[in-house]
Structure 1
Amino acid sequence: MSKIRVLVVDDSPVYRKIITNALNRDPQIEVIGTAENGKIAIDLIKRLNPDVITLDLEMPEMDGLETLDRLKRSNSNVSVIVFSSHSYAGAKMTFDALEKGAFDFVPKPSNGSFSENLNKIFSLLVPKIKVCYLNKSSVSLKKATKRDKPDIKPLSLPIKRRDAVAIGVSTGGPSALKEIFSKLSLQISVPIFVVQHMPPLFTSQFAKRLDSLSPLKVKEAENAEQVKGGVIYLAPGDYHMELNNEDGKIRIRLHKGPPENNCRPSVDVLFRSVAKVYNGKTLAVILTGMGSDGLKGARLLKEKGAYIIAQDKATSVVWGMPKAIVDAGLADKILPLSQVPNAISDLVRK
């Protein structure tokens, strides 16, 4: 396999060095250049033709968002992973960047020594670059604006009461959840629980963004709050989300238990809890994402009688988590993203 050619774009000389040193640790990756702003980066992209660029969002002269716009207008085939500051403004810019076609994001370490930050970036960034490269045909900026064509064939779905929906998603999740939640039926009267692999702070901003688009209320889950029907609960970053049945009232429990599948929040933790509280009266949906988080929990849900939907390969940014469900024979339906909102609405509406 040829090396993955990466261009590092950041206005900070320190971070350019940290990112370069981190990536050069991996023998499959080659940093072919660096740039201190978007204007320089666009010129280097034309000359060096990188596979992937890491793009800081907050830069002088030409920031990351303007750079993404320029690259899309030029029909660039490069894939982009953005770096974001750990702030509300940084989180907003990150979601704007994802909507403009960035593959994924990595939060910039806000403190720590040079070596500590290097190790953090290595562990977070290298796996995403490799997955990005392997899925380059579908995640480059040239492909990012293409949508799957809606399949208008009627779905044959079972008639059985579903008291809750549990959704697990990772890479590619922000755009997928936006697509789904903006099209859900107002007639949905059951709670929807969502684990999206995302750092702290970003989930609160993401919940607000989704709430502005969805006919249903979307909120970041709070510890000990009582669950209400017709509300979408998003697990906060760095917290597992579980459910407890206390005196006939279902409440959310957030905690910092050990990561599972290298994730906190973890889909498996949520799914296990949903299986315990709701038994088989559940609809589980596994969407685009790296890895196999949710597989063990989905097995338990299936044993209880839950109905399970997996997103198909063609419309997934990364067909990892859904593929694990499909390969294990747990999926009742494998659907393109365009069909998921109607499937959820039809299975759980009043």
Structure 2
Amino acid sequence: MSLRVGVLGCADIALRRIGPALAALPETTVAAVAGRSPGRAAEFARAFDCAATDYSGLLARDDVDAVYLPLPPGLHFTWTRAALLAGKHVLVEKPLTPTSAEARELADLALARGLVLRENFMFLHHRQHHVVRQAVRDGVLGAVRSLSAEFSIPPRPDGDIRYDPALAGGALVDLGGYPIRLAQYLLGDGLTVLGAELTTDPDRGVDLRGVVTLAGDGVTADLRFHLGGAYTNEYTVAGDRRSVHVARAFTPPADFEPELRLSDGERLVAPAQDQVLAAVAAFASACAAPNARRERGRLARSVRTTELLDAVRGAGLTPAPR
């Protein structure tokens, strides 16, 4: 039976990307949508031929098996917790929560109730990163020494939620999690924060850019992110024999042919892939056959990401989200 998903929040990513993926896959369907604005919810519902309701109403519906939650990060804890208590599986936009204490509480709750809770870092489902990780493990680069990664986007319009400290806005939460999670994926979970520098906009009260250095087991990761810079999303993994560079790392279009260039002129081969479809399909598969051991491992990595976000704030002298 198709997984019946309720969309809790009418964010642009839900309308343009996740909603169409849920509708396109045979294993998922959009059952209902909830919004703060009845008009916005009704517009979304017409696009996907589903019911429109409010947040609490969606969680009470018997025809909703799982919830996709694209709300601002500052609301992730409250509504993810409510969805889990209502007995729903949850796919929540990244990061799971802005802080590790909240993330641990949600992870414990999901595991105790036998529910799937996934953090929607879609780039992890693209095969180009699987190819790079396999090259790292196979010694194609020699002994890996470093990772350099950057994710930056142009300024957003005034009033954008990313500039609202009450909603856990800022570059670290919105962008910094990507290179941090990439470093975990390629270099392992034993990384710690060696240093960090965050630049905060005094008028808005949120950080706009940052530089983070992670270290562990003979490797370092130099990570940069900028809310208000030239669009950049790329990384390089360097070993003692050669390196590999990955362009369009975090948000490649579905038809993008990855360019995995080795420093000696060779290339690693990876196919084009729709990472949105892949992420949604993986969530549906996990909900169809929940596996406690698998979910415990995935949640541990998500919690570790939030622990690193906390450590970056400490090193960068930026307060935790309110």
**Is TM more than 0.5 here?**
no
Larger CA Rg, structure 1 vs 2: 1
Instruction: Identify, as 1 or 2, the structure richer in strand.
Output: 2
| Higher-RCO chain (CA-CA 8 Å, sequence separation at least 6) | 2
